[in-house]
Amino acid sequence: MSTTGRPSRRLVLGAGAAGLLGVGALAACSDAPPPAPAATPSAAATPTTSTAPRPAYVGDQRGVALCAALSALAASLYSGAVLAANDGRLGQVPAVVTSFLSGAGAQHTEHAAAWNALLTAAGRPAVTGSPLSVETERRATLGRAAAPTDLLSFAVDVEASVGATVLARAGEFTDPGAAALAATVGPVAAMHGATVAFLLGRPAGIAPGPAGAALGLDALTT
């Protein structure tokens, strides 16, 4: 990554001290008021230039950052779902449901770390948290869950969105590492989706709702 040096500042000073002393000596022998001393030129102002801040992620990096943020959000949502399942407000939640949420969440955490590793290897900052425009809405949807089936239906959309987003980005990646990771993460999201469909008694591959659509690069808010 290249860096641009800041322009140096130059102070341009102009003054004639000896000349000012001579004028003062002549004024002492005359009735005329002494002339005002010559103004000392001020330091020359250094011209300033403004440049637009460089985006944190460009090219493939932006797609990688989007996938990192989405994996992190999925992991966080599943952690919240497990807490909701354990606090009793959703009734009796089968152990298989919490087991799925915990296991899938752990894999999403690993995926977020893998995406971030690509960014840091390229000299860019890792994504912190889940800076996505859909985060507030997704958390609100989880907060409305009232039964174990609500958690599973929510997971269907989460996995569909992760899988569709990774698939869409995979078709754009030119970096071999990013393409290879997408080829790993996509099938895992598909496996999670098939597992949730089985737990719900739905046919595998059922079309998800709007929340299961792929996210575009504009969903990334950093």
1-59 per-position pLDDT tens digit:
433 344 443 333 333 333 333 333 323 333 444 555 554 544 444 555 445 555 679 99
Residue range 151-166, pLDDT digits in tens = 999 999 999 999 999 9
In a domain, 66, yes or no: yes
CATH number for 72: 1.20.1260.10
Number of structural domains, the chain? 1
pTM score: 0.76
CA distances for 198 relative to 71, 81, 100, 202, angstroms? 22, 19, 12, 6
Degrees (nearest 5) of the Cα angle 210, 96, 211? 5
Q: What is the pLDDT of residue 145?
A: 96
Average pLDDT of the residues in 111-122: 98
In a domain, 207, yes or no: yes
In a domain, 174, yes or no: yes
In a domain, 120, yes or no: yes
In a domain, 80, yes or no: yes
In a domain, 145, yes or no: yes
Q: Which residue has the higher pLDDT, 110 or 56?
A: 110
3-state helix, strand, coil in the chain (%, to 5): 60, 0, 40
- The whole domain housing 205 covers 60-219
Q: What is the pLDDT of residue 54?
A: 56
Q: How far does Cα 76 stand from its chain's mean position?
A: 15
* SS3 of residue 99 by DSSP: helix
Average pLDDT of the residues in 83-106: 95
In a domain, 69, yes or no: yes
In a domain, 26, yes or no: no
Structure tokens at 115: 């995406």
What is the Cα–Cα distance from 136 to 118, expressed in whole angstroms? 27
Q: What is the pLDDT of residue 38?
A: 52
Q: What is the pLDDT of residue 14?
A: 38
Q: What is the pLDDT of residue 35?
A: 52
Q: What is the pLDDT of residue 188?
A: 98
Q: Average per-residue pLDDT in the chain?
A: 82
Q: Which of 29, 61, 102, 141 is nearest to 94 (CA)?
A: 102
